[in-house]
Amino acid sequence: MRRIVYVALLALAATAFYQYQPALDRAPQPAMAAEAQAGNHFAPAENLEQLDLEQIAQARHTLDIAMYSFTDRYLADAVIEAAHRGVKVRIYRDRSQFQEEQRNADLHHQRSLSDMFHRQPNVQVRVKDSNEHNLMHLKAYVVDGKLLRDGSANWSPSGLKQQDNNAHYTTDPTQVHAFQQAFEQMWSRARNEVAQ
């Protein structure tokens, strides 16, 4: 009996160690069937990239994203995969970050995420007509009108796995609806640039 308890405790400790160890910049494991990760989650103790990948994999109808910085290629691939499954994706960006990401990609002779989204079916991208004092600084998305993720973590590898950031997930209808209303107002601004 002691041996069974010892083996069970050892397995539990190994699972807890892997789950809560700081994530290195490695390719995420394939998404498993995810439950809504309700509550707050904190990087670097948790891999927020993996949590976001799991939620995007669950999208079936819509994915509305308002993301200040978006340089994580795994998440970009997951968004494209969702679009290929028929999910209607809308991405709202801040102009300064959008332009900086374009310049960095050009400088390093890489394809920008904006280029990856170009001509993808079911993906729309709009950019706020902003200046240095009028940012679109949200880091949030809603999946199928049911799950809201917000918090301080941008969609960058360092923001999701190395920096002190949080991601908050909720299925509370009041909070989800409030974000959806704010998103619709931002999305419909007359001065937005339609990038995709």
User: pLDDT tens across 70-127, in order?
Assistant: 999 999 999 999 999 999 999 999 988 888 888 887 888 888 888 889 889 999 999 9
pLDDT on residue 124? 97
Tell me which CATH code domain 36-194 carries. 3.30.870.10
Judged against a pLDDT cut of 80, whether residue 137 lies above it is answered with yes
Biggest CA pair distance of the chain: 69
Judged against a pLDDT cut of 50, whether residue 15 lies above it is answered with no
Q: What percent of the chain has pLDDT over 70?
A: 81
Token pair of 151, please?
A: 């918090």
Q: Where exactly are the structural domains of the chain?
A: 36-194
In this structure, the dihedral spanned by the alpha carbons of residues 129, 75, 138 and 83, taken in order and rounded to 10 degrees, is 60
Residue type, 98: F
pTM of the full structure = 0.79
Helix %, strand %, coil % for the chain, to 5? Answer: 40, 20, 35
CB atoms within 10 A of CB 163: 15
Cα separation, 174 vs 105, whole angstroms: 39
Cα separation, 54 vs 74, whole angstroms: 12
